[in-house]
Structure 1
């Protein structure tokens, strides 16, 4: 292993089988220059023994002495990273065999880049490739057009406007410059929108991103996730309203008027709330329905 492997950080809690699939997908990489750190926030029996039995010196396993929760375990991933670049992948996501080779190639082509977003394939709970409304909308309406080589370098207000209109990124697939991520960290008080907040903070500090079309990552989207439960209750969008209002003021103070306007309008978030409204009503969540309606229709 080189002195500068890619740090793959895996905050783990939940399904053991899916986590094991994620780890095996890492071991199957064509480029061996990676190091995996697993931060186990659960208590599932047999997991420490399974990792001990792998006998792979590139894999480091740590079980938290107490449950930290999602945000603090994610922040622990940031704090423990040592390599110049890192990925915080989901414990049920999969790397396709060329992930490490592809992103390390992009890092070599763009020295000092803050973030890399490779191509992503969405899979369901059983591993079948899918494309629902959310992902189709990301791809067709909000994702930027790439150049003839299938990639694009973006940053500053241009990228901030694009993401505030509709966040088309897949957070677990992104490669981060470790020093930049450690300087910012995750915001307290945010849960489902923390990824967007983090990236906007990095853009305001001058970081840039390379977007590449080569599909090397599989993002698992379950039928019922934490974010979708929060969506029906309305709490996801109450959080979003607070964030967009704060971001708009901060971006305007920086002179990024187009980005501030995009934050105030947050069109994709409002459209998402509108599509969730019938589901909240069908589930009898009237309080959530009121939050969704306000978020979708009022400014």
Structure 2
């Protein structure tokens, strides 16, 4: 290893010599002096070593594993070999912008209780062309500056979709020593989120309001396999990590408040329903068939909503309003009675809800195909729960009476 530097940029790599070259170039182009670059070659079969040696830069240390120790083993090795107070792990297909180290070090130096910093990231394709990401990949807006780690966990449990790109993160080595390094209790694709949550349980987090890294999207990317391929388990793994997050909050001083414990219990029940839903997609025989669930749901709706009432149906347009022939059902969002897609954000969702309520809608049904809305649109969920009574809540339906106000009482239906 080189003499100790303030920062180590570790690049675990395997059979990506062309992409690695661009990543390594970006790591060596930082406008900061005191750092070293650690390339961890996981027994690659291409010319990675020749690419690394071609730089002839004394800041680079090249380590080759004689056998492939897997992604987890190679990332662990980055932590084990680090000799710096600060460590960043750069994916071998991503890019750092020149001020990444400087801005990250500034955040960690000025906030000693911060366990890691995270910057914003842009997105490029295999040809280095900037790309727009889909809603699935798009993160909710980050906060700015240092936030309490428990608040970060709370927001994740609440449904905030903060996607932290590993290449835009810089860890404090002391925080890693306190909480332990990477672990994979649920999925090898979530070893980063698992670590972020464990650090946040004991340290603050700093969000840098600048784009300081670029994430490359391509078919070989692990996230594409996990989240966007048939049988992908990424969403299920996220649910598992969020369940752990609830446990961290229960272990914290926040849980001394009985009302907060009740909120955590409600979140746990919901997240567990999502887990079962996602598991059933992978193992269909675990649950009732689509038609069986739909038949039961129709009977339940008829038992709580009188015929002729106008209602709002949130179903991702998978049921279709015509299935509720005895009710005046409108899709959500709607335009001239037709489904108009999902709302852009919570503000739009609440505005449309109130518009339709003022126009006579008496109930809102959230059907299981759209249960993810209860996470993604956490502001809408909290607005509904705070202002209206749930008259049905089970693994098929959540029904709100939009005419009842101000002290909502949850009524659970028998399964």
TM category, shorter:
0.7 to 0.9
Corresponding residue for residue 132 of structure 1: 134
Query: Structure 1 residues 112 and 76 mapped into 2: Cα distance closer, same or farther (>3 Å)?
Result: same
Corresponding residue for residue 148 of structure 1: none
Corresponding residue for residue 11 of structure 2: 10
**The residue matched to 2:205 in structure 1 has which SS?**
strand
Corresponding residue for residue 75 of structure 2: 74
Corresponding residue for residue 310 of structure 2: none
Contact 1:5–1:83 (Cα < 8 Å) also in 2: yes
Query: Comparing both chains, which one has the higher relative contact order based on Cα–Cα distances under 8 Å and sequence gaps of 6 or more?
Result: 1
Q: How does 1:1-299 map to 2 (within 5 A)?
A: 4-130=5-131, 131-136=133-138, 138-139=139-140, 143-145=141-143, 151-164=144-157, 165=159, 166-183=161-178, 184-189=180-185, 190-204=187-201, 206-223=202-219, 225-231=221-227, 232-254=230-252, 255-256=254-255, 257=261, 262=267, 265=270, 297=371, 298=395
Distance 2:232 2:47 in 1: 37
Deviation at 1:97, TM superposition (A): 1.3
**Alignment RMSD:** 3.4
Deviation at 1:224, TM superposition (A): 5.5
Distance 1:79 1:260 in 2: 38
Deviation at 1:220, TM superposition (A): 1.4
Distance 1:105 1:48 in 2: 33
Query: Structure 1 residues 266 and 221 mapped into 2: Cα distance closer, same or farther (>3 Å)?
Result: farther
TM-score scaled to structure 2, two decimals? Answer: 0.59
Quick check: 214-223 or 231-240, which moved more? 231-240
| Residue correspondences, number | 277
Which runs of no fewer than 5 residues in structure 1 stay unpaired? 146-150
Query: Structure 1 residues 30 and 241 mapped into 2: Cα distance closer, same or farther (>3 Å)?
Result: closer
Question: Between Structure 1 and Structure 2, which shows a larger proportion of helix residues?
Answer: 1
Distance 2:4 2:165 in 1: 28
Distance 1:48 1:251 in 2: 45
Quick check: 217-226 or 6-15, which moved more? 217-226
**The residue matched to 2:163 in structure 1 has which SS?**
coil
Q: Spell out, residue by residue over 1:139-196, the C-alpha distance to the aligned partner (whole angstroms, 9 max, x if none).
A: 3xxx344xxxxx3211232111223322322122101001211332111343122222
Deviation >3 Å, runs of 4+: 1-4, 237-247, 253-267, 285-288, 293-299
Distance 1:113 1:245 in 2: 24
Query: Structure 1 residues 239 and 215 mapped into 2: Cα distance closer, same or farther (>3 Å)?
Result: closer
Distance 1:23 1:84 in 2: 21
- Which has more radius of gyration? 2
Which runs of no fewer than 5 residues in structure 2 stay unpaired? 256-260, 291-367, 372-394, 397-415
Distance 2:267 2:33 in 1: 41
